Structure 1
Amino acid sequence: MDQKNLATNGTDLLIREAREGDLPAVIALFAADALGGHGDTTDPAAYEDYLRAFRTIQSSPDQALYVAEFRCDVVGTFQTMITTSLTGRGSSSMIIEAVQTRSDLRGQGIGAAMINFCIAGAKSRGMRLVQLTSNAARKDAHRFYERLGFKPSHLGFKMALK
């Protein structure tokens, strides 16, 4: 998807693919999320793990990592993945993952702009659907996604391997 300049509450917000130089800000967004439970950290010893993952995402034709930038600061991030399956007559879908908005800027329309960016991109590529998962404890996020038109439809399961 192409970068897009958006007006959010009268301010300019740029949504673009992430660059390697954005990694410290993106990592800080994840590390500040106590509820996520992913073990993210700004400890410099972990940087190589993030860099390796970033390069994997960047080299994939079916994945992309984005940032929302406001006044030259990274204030949000999300990742998209495209999957094609035999169900739905061989259609493709977009999965949105790792949606984060800087905590002091929540409620300003940044999250909605990021999700609407994804929806517009999926529509322009003829995707069958856009889907995402959200931690069961994130009740505010669930209301947010429902306001944007998402419907709860499936029950997810995970198995931790590490």
Structure 2
Amino acid sequence: MLESSDILVREARKDDLPALVALFAADALGGHGDTTEPAAFPDYARAFAVIEASPDQTLYVAEYGGEVVGTFQTMVTTSLTGRGSSAMIIEAVQTRADMRGQGIGAAMIEFAIAEAKGRGLRLVQLTSNALRKDAHRFYERLGFKPSHLGFKMALK
């Protein structure tokens, strides 16, 4: 287990893209079609630019020893429910396979929760692939409660 002080969580920079793409491409369970093929890199660069330009989205990395070892993205949404309150959605949580179980995921999620609290948000929510039972136990250990059933429809 790493010391949390050894893990740096910061906003992602464009030069982090190769490491981030490698994290997502290594995730066989996610099934998102991510790849490290050079021809796909412009797609990732376009998405990074959209996220970077958005006031409501932030892409983060976790660094250990100067290397990117994890990532997650947050989005803040405001709805009429909850008397017009805002919530943080945490998405795309990944820890490099050889670094799992070292406290990196916990450091990232705790960082996101602290950000949400600091902004006075009503809640923090996330979704997780139904097959990721270890991840579900991890999120529950951090205080998340399973409360909703999610649905998706692929359009491409």
1:40 is aligned to 34
Deviation (angstroms), 1:108: 0.5
Instruction: Supply the distance in 1 between the matched residues of 2:115 and 2:13 (Cα, whole angstroms).
Output: 19
| Corresponding position: 1:113 with 2:107 | yes
Deviations 1:87-115 (A, max 9, x none): 00000000000000001110100000000
| Moved beyond 4 Å, runs of 4+ | none
Report sequence identity in percent.
78
2:152 is aligned to 158
Q: 2:17 aligns with which of 23, 29, 32?
A: 23
Aligned Cα root-mean-square deviation (Å): 1.2
Q: 2:67 aligns with which of 62, 73, 88?
A: 73
Q: 2:139 aligns with which of 139, 142, 145?
A: 145
| Structure 1 pair 38–10 and aligned structure 2 pair: CA distance change class (3 A) | closer
**Count of residues in Structure 1 that have an aligned counterpart in Structure 2:** 156
Deviation (angstroms), 1:13: 1.0
Instruction: Supply the distance in 2 between the matched residues of 1:8 and 1:55 (Cα, whole angstroms).
Output: 32
Instruction: Supply the distance in 2 between the matched residues of 1:157 and 1:62 (Cα, whole angstroms).
Output: 23
| Structure 1 pair 84–10 and aligned structure 2 pair: CA distance change class (3 A) | closer
* Equivalent residue letter for 1:49: D
- TM-score (norm. length: structure 1): 0.94
Deviation (angstroms), 1:9: 2.8
- TM-score (norm. length: structure 2): 0.98
Instruction: Supply the distance in 2 between the matched residues of 1:91 and 1:22 (Cα, whole angstroms).
Output: 33
* Greater RCO, CA 8 A, separation 6+: 2
